[in-house]
């Protein structure tokens, strides 16, 4: 229940479908999401991705994860909402619901099997290091272009 948007319905669906210890039967989160049919089925030949669609098939647990992801998509704020909005903008709502459902499955698997507490990231999770460095360089360039001093920027404390 620590994850924003997750309610009793999803927890009860997990317990009813696989039991209290059933999630431990999956050695990895990848295998759990593949069993749920939430992981993409990548078909690669010669290094070229031919297909990367989610396999057909559904279960009550997959439907519960997708319904929770859809509900999170309707929330106003949170890092999962930001993730949902980024995917929704790029690829559409159906893809965003599936992607967020998979992310939820991975988070819950890690919480139950590994005992990892849920810690939502706070800043720039979606930016890789290269983009961060470009952002810092651009800000430094603008500071030098406008000839701003440390006092004007508020870096020096008296």
Q: Are 49 and 62 in contact (CB under 8 A)?
A: no
3-class SS shares of the chain: helix, strand, coil, % to 5: 60, 5, 35
Residue-level pLDDT at 136 = 84
Closest of 76, 81, 61, 94 to residue 3, by C-alpha: 81
Distance CA 131, CA 139 (A): 12
User: Treating both helix axes as pointing N-terminal to C-terminal, what angle do 60-73 and 29-36 enclose, rounded to 10 degrees?
Assistant: 100
Mean pLDDT by 10 residues, the chain (158 residues): 83 88 91 90 86 82 92 88 91 93 92 87 61 82 83 70
Distance CA 118, CA 71 (A): 19
How distant, in Å, are the alpha carbons of 19, 82, 104 from that of 113? 13, 26, 14
Distance between terminal CA atoms of the chain?
45
pLDDT digits (tens, 9 = 90+) for 118-141: 887 765 555 566 677 788 888 888
pLDDT digits (tens, 9 = 90+) for 58-79: 889 999 999 999 999 998 888 8
Residue-level pLDDT at 66 = 92
In whole angstroms, what separates CA 1 from the centre of its chain? 17
pTM for this structure?
Answer: 0.72
Residue-level pLDDT at 109 = 92
Q: Are 84 and 17 in contact (CB under 8 A)?
A: no
């Amino acid at each position: 229940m620590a994850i924003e948007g997750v309610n009793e319905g999803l927890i009860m669906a997990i317990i009813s479908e696989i039991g209290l210890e059933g999630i431990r039967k999956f050695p990895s989160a990848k295998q759990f999401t593949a069993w749920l049919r939430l992981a993409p089925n990548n078909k690669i030949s010669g290094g070229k991705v031919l297909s990367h669609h989610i396999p057909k098939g559904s279960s009550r647990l997959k439907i519960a994860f997708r319904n929770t992801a859809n509900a999170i998509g309707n929330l106003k704020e949170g890092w999962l909402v930001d993730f949902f909005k980024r995917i929704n903008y790029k690829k559409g709502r159906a893809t965003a619901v599936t992607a967020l459902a998979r992310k939820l499955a991975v988070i819950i698997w890690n919480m139950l099997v590994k005992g990892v507490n849920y810690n939502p990231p706070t800043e720039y999770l979606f930016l890789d290091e290269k983009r961060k460095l470009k952002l810092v360089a651009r800000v430094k360039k603008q500071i030098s272009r406008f000839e701003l001093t440390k006092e004007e920027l508020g870096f020096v404390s008296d």
